[in-house]
């Protein structure tokens, strides 16, 4: 079955630097991969989606890459700010076809220090 691996250790960076978070999956390449942000005690909020035929996607200071050969997605936040501190979850469809059922990684917590 499909598994997602995200670095469980918190990522601490200085304000203004670029944060890079990693999401690895173990089995078949999904049709798309999503990134969500989750603040403590809140539900996840959708950030970006990248499809298997897209190498890179950008939205303001966010950038996502998708490498189906490496079975990996990288999530970048440029010019990071303390307000970017949160847990970032990677998610993908649990089926080899588009089932609409997501499985989530456990998330990586980002801490941006002023």
Partner 1 sequence: DAMVIQNPRYQVTQFGKPVTLSCSQTLNHNVMYWYQQKSSQAPKLLFHYYDKDFNNEADTPDNFQSRRPNTSFCFLDIRSPGLGDAAMYLCATSRDPSTDTQYFGPGTRLTVL
Contact window for partner 1 (CB under 8 A) among 19-27, 55-63, 74-82, 102-110: 102-110
SS3 for 77? Answer: strand
Close Cβ partners of 71 (under 8 Å, ≥ 6 residues apart): 24, 25, 26, 29
Residue in the structure block whose two tokens are 């501190």: 85
Subset of residues 26 to 85 that bind partner 1, contact rule: CB under 8 A: 32, 34, 36, 41-46, 49
For partner 1, the closer of residues 30 and 80 by Cβ is 30
Interaction of residue 92 with partner 1, rule CB under 8 A: no
Neighbours of 58 (CB within 10 A): 11
Residue in the structure block whose two tokens are 């997501």: 102
| Least distance in angstroms from the C-beta of 110 to partner 1 | 14
DSSP for 37-66, please give it.
Answer: EE-TTS--EEEEEEETT-SEEEETTEEEEE
| Least distance in angstroms from the C-beta of 77 to partner 1 | 20
For partner 1, the closer of residues 1 and 14 by Cβ is 1
| Separation of alpha carbons 94 and 81, rounded Å | 33
| Least distance in angstroms from the C-beta of 5 to partner 1 | 11
Interface residues toward partner 1, by CB under 8 A: 4, 8, 32, 34, 36, 41-46, 49, 89, 98-107
């Amino acid at each position: 079955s499909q598994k997602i691996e995200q670095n469980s250790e918190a990522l601490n960076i200085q304000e203004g630097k670029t944060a890079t978070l990693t999401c690895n999956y173990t089995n078949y390449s999904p049709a798309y991969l999503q990134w969500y942000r989750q603040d403590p005690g809140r539900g996840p909020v959708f950030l970006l989606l990248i499809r298997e035929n897209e190498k890179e996607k950008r939205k303001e200071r966010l950038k996502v890459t998708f490498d189906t050969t490496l079975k990996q997605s990288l999530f970048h936040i440029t010019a990071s700010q303390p307000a970017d501190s949160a847990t970032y979850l990677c998610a993908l469809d649990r089926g080899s076809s588009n089932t609409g059922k997501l499985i989530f990684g456990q998330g990586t917590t980002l801490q941006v220090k002023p």
